[in-house]
Chains A and B, each alone.
Chain A
């Protein structure tokens, strides 16, 4: 063998450059991804934080704003109200969701598919829908007003009920995931040790679901304490932190104070985020490859009990949705109960009319397309290309950060960041584009986690095999990775579309004259007293989301059918 010094020395130089370019190319792309997330989340947040320690003129004043806000007295009631309302909603929702999840996973009730479908409907509706529905049910002219025994729905009762409605699916999905992964052997072991069903419930079922319960509680608490739609519509004089931000900023134009309240709101959300991450990490180890999935045995009595457990949630959700639809179709409540589409003539009302709806659909489609592409491309870079581990960690952290930032806080940050005349991106302020960017940022984390999970499930050697077969990573991406990830891509697309249609909290600060949105129109029409059209618009949003879900379902069905051969090994 001839290894002359010349070949050994001269060849590597260009090849080294080539290899470096190849490796650094992917790193640069992921750095770019980090840059995008910094622009969309980190930089606005930083502006917000810095705003909270400056006065109106922009001078640094330390914690003076906080002292002023905390000394005003208003905060104590708002903070206290926020805490107890969120706490109570959490208890109610987690209990109801646990009952429902138990019934769905531990009994053999029929029609579980349909029941599940009904139970997650609230996720397709804007959170305002429940508040409006509650007004029709229990408000001054409500059909069931007498049920409250003289108490007012406008206030904490309404806020708690409304919050329970829209946060229920979030808790249910977490608990279903936690409880579906039960190990059947634990139940067999307990039964063979002669434990009663009651004892099995407390020693096997509940401990098995404990991480799910904790996680669900954190999620619901954060959602309620940072939500502003429900308290805005049905809270009446009942102040909470989230409505206070809105008042400070939109009502009184006191942006510094808005920033202060935002920081206060960020704290519980951050805490919940950290705690939830911790809990999630613990949960992953509980179900292993050796576990055998639990299958409930036939037991009529238990099935009936399960049906009883499902009843409250199903009735509550159907009542709220049903009432909203009914109210939107009644010509003039409560005097003319004839059915008509009069309330759907949005162009006759304030709030943006049908244009707002068109804007919303455009915005949702934009967020869906841009968001899905951005999320998947970045997740692919992080998971399937060679990256320095530090950069991967940094990117992952940036991607999860939006989970800890309430929508209101993000929206306000966007005002501070993009409305700054010195920001070259200032021109997008008030356009549909900023709404798209904000929405993608707002819902980035969950999409990112979905994409990462899907990509992690692929064999880690696909790219290596591809390279040995002289195929670039791009070819492997197009011919293998993307086809295999299509179900997850559809899930992410639907998630972004639905959330973009229903979200209020972040975009309420950001829409401009030409970019009014349907969800914000609900809020504005309600504020203007056009409550029936508000209900109609909320219903329209829900129907649109349901339509999107249907399309996604059909695509999934078609995909499953056409790929069944290679997914399940059957022809």
Chain B
């Protein structure tokens, strides 16, 4: 057996899933390229785990079809599909040693003993646990158990690796470390990987592409940079990162009215007139020393969050409240303090505009 795995291409076509009257997934279309790492990201109940379980064959879709590497797998039972899976709980078999856990899938297909031993050794080395083979899962730390689960899933060289919230049971430090490690391993092996997570930071840090889901539909598919910088919907904008929303009205297809001011937009509005929701990220709002002729705002609250200062300001005139992130040095230079006055600029190229 060779170290690298030939990742397979996965296509999800018009997949829907109903539980009685409840619609868990609606018309899902998605293509995952060989060797790609895709994250399903969304709040709990958005359907991301259901979609993963349908891909694994653990749930049956109500409609639509699935193709893996050109084969129609829509109706195949899980054991006839080609994937490895890691659950949030790891689901390691507690009565077996680490080595027996990793060998489990190889023994299912009746691989020769020597080959199994070799493969187990190789995988445990790959995940950094070469000397833990004889231990039982309960004798390992959470992070180590996670790696064993990963090794077990990878042992039969699957074309597809499914990760169901694999890091959420770990504490923050281990999580950050393993995040990088899983990503490295995945790239090294070239296995097509789908990871379900509700942690946006995790998704942005690890994924080639992020699939943002909400209420059973895909809101946006894109690279981490795309979903952060060009959110396709107000939901995506709000779910990933922080966002200020402001109700305003379109003046024409390139400008909107906010309070008494007219703001120019970076992109033309899809629909000409009417109410729109204007949005800007806290770090994109510029604060300057008060000059007298700018857009004035008063500081309401100041929270020191280590790497930056999060402040809430109220705009004079329209009474709009904005959350603004400022780096600590600028905050000092501006003399930010509760009740202080500053000038606010909303740079036109940082503005987002969504339907009201």
Contacts and interface: CB of A to CB of B under 8 A. Distances in A.
B137 interface: yes
Contacts of A479: 93, 96, 104
Interface stretch (A336-344, A398-406, A419-427, A560-568): A560-568
Contact of B94 (A8, A19, A566): A566
Contacts of A565: 136, 139
A198 to B, nearest CB: 43
Contact of B105 (A18, A470, A472, A569): A470
Nearest to B106: A469
A2 interface: yes
A390 to B, nearest CB: 12
A475 interface: yes
Interface in B22-72: 56-58, 65, 67, 70-72
Among A11, A461, A570: residue with most chain B CB under 10 A: A461
Nearest to B153: A468
Interface in B240-266: none
Contacts of A471: 79, 104-105, 108
Nearest to A563: B95
Contact of A16 (B65, B75, B139): B75
A470 B156 contact: yes
A468 B67 contact: no
Interface string A467-493: 111111001000110011000000000
Interface in B82-140: 83-85, 87, 89, 91, 93-96, 104-105, 108-109, 136-139
A469 B105 contact: yes
Contact of B67 (A1, A22, A461, A464): A1
B138 A569 contact: yes
A436 to B, nearest CB: 32
A462 interface: yes
Given A15-B76, A461-B87, A464-B58, A470 B108 contact: yes
Among A1, A467, A471: residue with most chain B CB under 10 A: A467
B143 interface: no
A1 B108 contact: no
Contacts of A472: 79
A475 B85 contact: no
A469 B108 contact: yes
A459 B88 CA distance: 11
Given A471-B79, A484-B94, A563-B95, A569 B56 contact: no
A57 interface: no
Interface string A436-479: 00000000000000000000000101101111111110010001
Contacts of A470: 79, 105, 108-109, 156
B335 to A, nearest CB: 45
A564 to B, nearest CB: 10
Given A1-B9, A461-B89, A467-B77, A567 B94 contact: yes
Contact of B95 (A2, A465, A566): A566
A461 B84 contact: no
A15 B91 CA distance: 28
Among A12, A19, A465, A568: residue with most chain B CB under 10 A: A465
A111 interface: no
A566 B70 contact: no
Interface in A1-52: 1-3, 7-8, 11-12, 15-16, 18-19, 22
Contacts of B158: 468
B144 to A, nearest CB: 12
B93 A468 contact: no
Contacts of A8: 65, 72
Contact of B91 (A3, A19, A459, A570): A459
Interface string A491-515: 0000000000000000000000000
A19 B77 contact: yes
B138 A567 contact: yes
B20 to A, nearest CB: 10
Nearest to A3: B67
A284 to B, nearest CB: 21
Contacts of A468: 56, 78-79, 81, 83-85, 105, 153, 158, 162
B152 interface: yes
Contacts of B74: 12
Given A464-B56, A467-B58, A470-B156, A15 B95 contact: no
A193 interface: no
A285 interface: no
A571 interface: yes
B91 A461 contact: yes
Among B9, B74, B79: residue with most chain A CB under 10 A: B79
B11 interface: yes
Contacts of A459: 87, 89, 91
B137 A566 contact: yes
A389 to B, nearest CB: 10
Nearest to B100: A479
Among A461, A466, A470, A567: residue with most chain B CB under 10 A: A470
B229 to A, nearest CB: 30
A155 B94 CA distance: 56
Among A12, A469, A472: residue with most chain B CB under 10 A: A469
A143 B96 CA distance: 60
A479 B139 CA distance: 20
A18 B77 CA distance: 9
Nearest to A568: B138
A479 B162 CA distance: 24
Contacts of A467: 57-58, 77-79
Contacts of B65: 8
Contacts of B11: 1, 3
Contacts of B79: 467-468, 470-472
A12 B87 contact: no
Contacts of A567: 94, 138
Contacts of A469: 84, 104-105, 108, 152, 155-156
Among B85, B91, B139: residue with most chain A CB under 10 A: B91
Contacts of A466: 104
A7 B72 contact: yes
Interface string A304-339: 000000000000000000000000000000000000
A462 B78 CA distance: 13
B75 A462 contact: no
Interface in B300-344: none
A200 B158 CA distance: 60
A464 B149 CA distance: 13
Interface string A528-571: 00000000000000000000000000000000000101111111
5 contacts: A11-B72, A19-B75, A461-B87, A468-B84, A470-B109
Given A3-B72, A470-B108, A566-B94, 13 more contacts: A1-B11, A1-B67, A8-B72, A461-B91, A465-B85, A468-B81, A468-B153, A469-B155, A470-B79, A479-B96, A479-B104, A480-B95, A567-B94
Interface of A: 1-3, 7-8, 11-12, 15-16, 18-19, 22, 459, 461-462, 464-472, 475, 479-480, 483-484, 563, 565-571
Interface of B: 9, 11, 56-58, 65, 67, 70-72, 74-81, 83-85, 87, 89, 91, 93-96, 104-105, 108-109, 136-139, 152-153, 155-156, 158, 162
